[in-house]
Structure formats: C-alpha cells, structure tokens
C-alpha cells in the first residue's frame, strides 16, 4: 500500500542566542537551576520582524525541499503545525506556498500544541495513503517568545523559536502507525488566551492571561504517567519490541521528562537523541528540528526504526512509528 516516506528534512533557528546567564539578568534565576531542572542551556529568540513564524517555516521548508532533491513545483500539499502564527489567516501554509513560488497546493495549518508536527504528519499521511497527493511538505514552526511572560521565571526559561520541515513522498510500504489522543483533565494547566479580545481588556488580569500560563509540575506529572504508556501501546500495535527501535525522537520539553520516559520504557537513554540544551522547548518545531540534526550528523540512516512522541496543551499527546 501507499505510505509517505520522509525524503527530505530541513530546519531553521534564528541567530540570536539567549543563554541562562542572560535570563538571570531578567528574572530571579540562575544557570544551575535551569540546567538541573530542565537540561536547557540556551535557546534561540526571533527578532519578531524578519524571522516571523511564516518566514522561519519557509526557510526550513526550502532546506527540506533542497535536501529531498525535488522541484518545488512537485509539492502538492503543505501543512504547517503552529500555535503561534504571525497571521490568523491566511494560513502559514499559504505563506510558505507563496514564498516557494508555487501554487495549487492544499494548504492549511494545524494546532494541537506541541504534538502539532506529529498531528500534521499523520494528516498528510492520510492524504498520501488515499492516493490524493504524492509529494507533501509537513512543517512545525513557532515564535513562542512572542507569547512568553518575561516576568514569569517558571515559563520564560523554557521556550525558544524555530522551525523544522519534512518532505513526504508516496512510496509502496507498510501503513503509517500512530496514536493521537487528548484529555481535558489538565486542560487549565497550559493555556494562552487570544490577544484579540478587546472586550476582555476591562479585566485587569487579562493581559497576563495572553501569555503562556502553565502549571509545569502538573504537566510534568501527567506526561510521565501517560506518554510512556502510549508509546508501549503503539509498539505492541506495530509488533515491534521497544529494544528493536533505534531512535526515540521525543519532544524536547524537559530533559527530566525524557530521562523518566526512558526509565519507564526500560530503554537506554542513548536511544533518545537530544538538542534541548541548545534549543529549549520549540513546541511543534521540536521534533523536525531534531530529525534534521540527526540526519545532518549521520545518526539517522535509511531503514532505522523511529518512534516520535510529543505532548502539550490540551493536554494532547501523540506517538508515531515508522521505518526511515
Ligand atoms: O511543551 C510544553 C509542555 N510543558 C512542559 O513540558 C513543562 C513540564 N514541566 C517542567 O518542565 C517543570 O515543571 C518546570 C521546569 C517548569 C519547573 O520545574 P519543577 O521542578 O516542577 O519546579 P517547581 O515549579 O516545582 O518549582 C520549584 C521551586 C519553586 O520554589 P519553592 O516554592 O520551592 O521555594 C519555584 O518558585 O523552584 C522555583 N523556581 C525557580 N527557581 C529558579 C521556579 N522557576 C525557577 C527558575 N529559577 N527559573
């Protein structure tokens, strides 16, 4: 049957680096605390003018298209996963289509918070499996620092900006395997209100609620209790043992969450590639940025068995298994 194979990967991160020491001049924090509790040392921050979400999405997409060795005109579908679009409409996908100099694509955005890339990947897989499109772009792009409260040390230390992209091409192969799910149980633990609600500005707390508001401890607990379980379920569904899987490409949100997941699965931490130290949490861009790094470093090879997993606001979580 037809399935989408990743034939090209690309990423983009803005040049400005914000270190933990830089943050310690803004809020009461320090490098030791941030490193120990999160694994993050630095993150990239967009200027918000040139490197908008759509611009970063395009830069990652252009690199992925080049890496795939396809002509941009071959792209038939573009889906961008983002929680931080610079325009509510048209979609970021439409902006990428314009910037690639092509037209006639199916274009839309997906918001399922941090697992957005996995969600978008599975949406595109459906179009490919049904024979509707042959070549597609899946992108995760975020400008989270626009939504960060620089007075809140519990969140501003975590997030960074960037984009990652994959070109998928229809090939004969095993069907796509995934679990996407969500629960309203901890919905209030990760929320950002839309800024365009002028009638709400009479409420003195409204401005603060438009930033990322998070109960990190609750999210941490929930994720560690649910996500490894879902990963085990998917492995069983696919008839693959956890040991056979070569890479666990896991959302780069907190190194301690990754450590706890590896421990729960009984899998060596070496199978969990990480770049959180330099990227921070880039939400839906996190997984494609990491995949691109792995490909560039030569650790992601043809035939490797890969499990992607992510979680975020909703709370949503998603897991995918594929052979690269
Ligand atoms: O993709 C989005 C999904 N979100 C996540 O994955 C977030 C998951 N959660 C986390 O990553 C962690 O919960 C955090 C890194 C956000 C926080 O770590 P924690 O170990 O849960 O710390 P905490 O919030 O329980 O705070 C412990 C202490 C508190 O002080 P007291 O009350 O014990 O005196 C905080 O006020 O650490 C304090 N604290 C800080 N200290 C220095 C909180 N943030 C900071 C900080 N620097 N940046």
String of DSSP letters for 250-270: E--S-HHHHHHHHHHHT--GG
CA of 310 to the centre of ligand 1 (A): 20
Q: What size, in residues, is the chain?
A: 324
Q: What is the pLDDT of residues 294-307, one digit of tens each?
A: 999 999 999 999 99
Residues paired with residue 317 on neighbouring β-strands, in sequence order: 181, 311
The ligand 1 atom at the shortest distance from the C-alpha of residue 253 is 6
State the fold for domain 2-172: Peroxisomal Thiolase; Chain A, domain 1 (3.40.47)
Query: What are the start-end ranges of the E strands in 1-49?
Result: 2-12, 17-19, 42-44
The ligand 1 atom at the shortest distance from the C-alpha of residue 38 is 15
Q: What is the pLDDT of residues 235-268, one digit of tens each?
A: 999 999 999 999 999 999 999 999 999 999 999 9
How would residue 310 be classed by pLDDT, with cut points 50, 70 and 90?
very high
Residues of the chain above pLDDT 70, percent: 100
Residues paired with residue 140 on neighbouring β-strands, in sequence order: 81, 164
What count of other Cβ atoms lies within 10 Å of the Cβ of residue 167?
25
Average pLDDT for residues 20-46, to the nearest whole number?
Answer: 98
Distance from chain centroid for Cα 216: 18
CA of 216 to the centre of ligand 1 (A): 6
- Read off the tokens for 205: 């707390």
Instruction: Give the residue numbers marked as catalytic.
Output: 114, 251, 281
Q: β-strands 305-312, 247-250: how paired?
A: parallel
Q: Which residues line ligand 1 (CB under 6 A)?
A: 29, 33-34, 37-38, 114, 153-154, 157, 216-217, 219-220, 253-254, 281, 283, 312
CB 141 within 8 A of CB 51: no
pLDDT value of position 138? 98
Q: Which of 121, 149, 148, 161 is nearest to 286 (CA)?
A: 161
What's the Cα-to-Cα distance from 323 to each of 3, 176, 266, rounded to whole Å? Answer: 11, 10, 21
Q: Does domain 177-323 have CATH number 3.90.79.10?
A: no
CA of 34 to the centre of ligand 1 (A): 9
CA of 313 to the centre of ligand 1 (A): 17
CB 255 within 8 A of CB 274: yes
- Read off the tokens for 266: 């009984």
Our CA dihedral for 113, 123, 195, 88, rounded to 10 degrees, sits at 150
Q: Given the structure tokens 């630095």, which residue do they identify?
A: 42
Residue whose CB lies within 8 A of the most ligand 1 atoms, among 41, 154, 155, 224, for a mutation test:
154
- Read off the tokens for 228: 């490894």
Determine if the peptide bond prior to 90 is cis (ω within 30°). yes
CA of 96 to the centre of ligand 1 (A): 36
Note whether 2-172 and 177-323 share their fold.
yes
CA of 130 to the centre of ligand 1 (A): 44
The ligand 1 atom at the shortest distance from the C-alpha of residue 256 is 11
Residue whose CB lies within 8 A of the most ligand 1 atoms, among 26, 27, 142, 217, for a mutation test:
217
The residue whose C-alpha atom lies closest to atom 2 belonging to ligand 1 is: 312
The ligand 1 atom at the shortest distance from the C-alpha of residue 219 is 8
Please tell me the distance from the alpha carbon of residue 82 to that of residue 298, in angstroms, as a whole number. 28
pLDDT value of position 199? 93
pLDDT value of position 77? 98
Q: What is the pLDDT of residues 144-181, one digit of tens each?
A: 999 999 999 999 999 999 999 999 999 999 989 999 99
How would residue 187 be classed by pLDDT, with cut points 50, 70 and 90?
very high
How would residue 223 be classed by pLDDT, with cut points 50, 70 and 90?
very high
Residues of the chain above pLDDT 90, percent: 99
CB 8 within 8 A of CB 68: yes
Where do the domains of the chain lie?
Answer: 2-172, 177-323
How would residue 68 be classed by pLDDT, with cut points 50, 70 and 90?
very high
Q: Which of 139, 166, 130, 121 is nearest to 6 (CA)?
A: 166
Q: What is the pLDDT of residues 262-296, one digit of tens each?
A: 999 999 999 999 999 999 999 999 999 999 999 99
């Amino acid at each position: 049957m037809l399935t989408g194979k990743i034939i090209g990967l690309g990423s983009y991160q803005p040049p400005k680096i914000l270190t933990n020491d830089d943050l310690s001049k803004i809020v009461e924090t320090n490098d030791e605390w941030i490193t120990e509790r999160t694994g993050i040392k630095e993150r990239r921050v967009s200027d918000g003018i040139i490197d908008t979400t759509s611009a970063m999405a395009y830069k990652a997409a252009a690199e992925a298209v080049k890496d795939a060795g396809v002509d941009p005109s071959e792209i038939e579908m573009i889906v961008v996963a983002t929680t931080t679009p610079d325009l509510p409409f048209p979609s970021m996908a439409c902006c990428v289509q314009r910037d690639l100099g092509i037209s006639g694509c199916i274009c839309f955005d997906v918001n399922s918070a941090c697992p957005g890339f996995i969600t978008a990947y599975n949406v595109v897989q459906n179009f490919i499996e049904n024979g509707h499109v042959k070549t597609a772009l899946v992108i995760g792009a975020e400008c989270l620092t626009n939504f960060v409260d620089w007075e809140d040390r519990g969140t501003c230390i975590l997030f960074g900006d960037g984009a990652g992209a994959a070109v998928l091409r229809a090939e004969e192969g095993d069907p796509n395997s995934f679990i996407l799910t969500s629960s309203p149980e901890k919905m209030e633990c990760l929320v950002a209100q839309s800024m365009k609600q002028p009638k709400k500005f009479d409420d003195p707390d409204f401005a603060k609620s438009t930033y990322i508001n998070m109960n990190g401890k609750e999210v941490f607990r929930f994720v560690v209790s649910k996500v490894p379980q879902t990963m085990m379920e998917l492995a069983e569904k696919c008839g693959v043992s956890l040991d056979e899987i070569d890479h666990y490409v896991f959302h780069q949100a907190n190194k301690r969450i990754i450590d706890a997941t590896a421990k729960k699965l009984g899998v060596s931490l070496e199978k969990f590639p990480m770049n959180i130290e330099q990227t921070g949490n880039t939400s839906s861009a996190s997984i494609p940025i990491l995949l691109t790094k792995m490909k560039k470093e030569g650790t992601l090879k043809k035939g490797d068995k890969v499990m992607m997993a992510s979680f975020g606001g909703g709370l949503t979580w998603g897991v995918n298994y594929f052979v690269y």
